[in-house]
Amino acid sequence: LSDDGVIFISIDDNEAANLKLVCDEIFGEENFITTICHKSRASISNDKIISENHNFILLYARRMDFVFNKRFEFGLSPDLTGFDMEDERGFYKYAPVDGPGGAAKGNPYYTFEGVSGYWRFSKDRMQQMFEDGLVVKVGSGLQQKNYLEKARNSRKTDTTWWDFKYYTSTATAKLKDLIGMDAFSNPKHVGLVKRMMELWVRGEQDIVLDFFAGSGTTMQAVMELNLEDGGNRQCICVQIPEKLEESTEAWKAGYRTIADITRARIDKVIEKLKSEQPEKTQDLAYAQFTLTPSHFKQWRSDVDAHALREQLEIF
């Protein structure tokens, strides 16, 4: 990772606690940013005591000081619509000045400029903002000016991604439509990966690395997001040639490894994007590289997996 790099790791309940400990050792506890919880399924499993419908995403920084210093850049882009009024300070729109939650949130109650209510600010602060032209009378009420320049630097972040329907079942169906078969079990939702990248990966030369590429969701997310916001992100996907089961639809269709499915998906995505937006995708392409044989026995085809397990048990 670069000094301002971050890593998102998706995990379910089974290994989340162990993963946190491992990451604390690798990256350092001080570089832990947060754990994001997202809704991964809408259905309910009746064979569970409590039906799990979420996954976690652990987020770590390479160097917390670099990320913290740029924290106002971290998050989703704010809504910048409606700033159609202008004064000497710039473009603005009105925002409430009465306090959300009223008395329940302990907002001060008083009368100001003939208007009574629970306000976001103390009476002294309200008076100063009024004199500075930041709070104005609008009709029979009061409003504060929310300036575009300030809104640009107010990015949205939270840890509960619950209402976006990043369901695994939806991702599975879309992949089936793209490739034409049930080629991969439980792929990530493209929207979920886009949301991860939108938090931080916005630079012209940013590189996204997915070293468990699976079906190639990350590559698709990068290509689509670049088209949506004009970005120039690059992506590296790594997938070992793990053999498919001979009983699967993918095997019967001629695929032999997970890496074959990864490449097929990327090809299909590029073909789809080129047909939909030919003027923006003239240079859209990817290069494929194959690594030399690995020294790791479990990925060598000349080593029997059962014999390897027996050898490990001896030690």
- pLDDT tens digits along 230-281: 888 999 999 988 999 999 999 999 999 999 999 999 999 999 999 999 999 9
Residues 221, 166 contacting (CB under 8 angstroms): no
Beta strand segments in 81-215, E: 85-87, 90-96, 109-112, 115-118, 135-138, 141-147, 160-161, 207-210
With the CA atoms of 259, 285, 293 and 256 taken in that order, what torsion angle do they form, in degrees rounded to the nearest 10?
Answer: 20
CA 211 to chain centre: 16
Q: Pairing state of beta strands 141-147 and 135-138?
A: antiparallel
Measured between alpha carbons, how far is residue 126 from residues 107, 120, 146, 154 in Å?
13, 9, 15, 22
* Phi, psi for residue 28 in degrees, rounded to 5: 95, 135
Least Cα distance to 208 among 231, 185, 180, 178 occurs for: 231
Q: What is the pLDDT at residue 61?
A: 96
pLDDT above 90 (res 305): no
Question: Would you place residue 191 in the very low, low, confident or very high pLDDT band (cuts 50, 70, 90)?
Answer: very high
pTM of the prediction?
0.74
Could you write out the DSSP letters of every residue in 258-275? Answer: HHHHHHHHHHHHHHHHHH
**pLDDT tens-digit series, residues 77-86:** 777 789 999 9
